[in-house]
Amino acid sequence: MPQSQTKPEFLSRPGRASRAQQVLPGQLVFATRRVLGRRFLLRPDRELVWLVKYLLAVCAKRHGIELHEVALMSSHLHMLFTDWLGRRGLFFNDFHAMLARCVQRLRGWKLPVFDKRQTNQPVVVTVQGAVEAAAYIQANAVMAGLVASPSEWPGNLTDLKETGWGKRERIPRPELLHREDGAVVRMFHPKSERWAKDIELELTPLAARVGMAPEECVALVKAERDGLVEEAHGEVAKSGGRFLGRFRAMRRSTRAQATSKEELNAVVPRVKAGRGQGEVRRCALAEDASFRWDMAECRLRMLRGEKDVVFPAGCFAWARRFGFATHAGVAPPLV
The total of other beta-carbon atoms located within 10 Å of residue 100's CB is 17
CB 74 within 8 A of CB 252: yes
Rg value, the chain, Cα: 21
**Residue range of the domain that includes 302:** 280-326
The per-residue pLDDT for 122 is 96
305/252 same-domain check: no
Count of domains forming the chain: 2
**What are the φ/ψ torsions at residue 111 (nearest 5 degrees)?**
-90, 170
108 part of a folded domain: yes
* CATH number of domain containing 220: 3.30.70.1290
**138/145 Cα distance (integer angstroms):** 13
Select the more confidently predicted residue: 62 or 15: 62
How many degrees, rounded to 5, is the angle at CA 280 between CA 2 and CA 139?
A: 135
CA 90 to chain centre: 13
57 part of a folded domain: yes
224 part of a folded domain: yes
270/290 same-domain check: no
13 part of a folded domain: no
115/239 same-domain check: yes
CB 28 within 8 A of CB 123: yes
- Predicted confidence (pLDDT) per residue in 177-192, tens digit: 888 888 888 888 887 7
- Predicted confidence (pLDDT) per residue in 294-320, tens digit: 999 988 998 898 888 888 998 877 777
208/130 same-domain check: yes
79/118 same-domain check: yes
pTM > 0.85: yes or no: yes
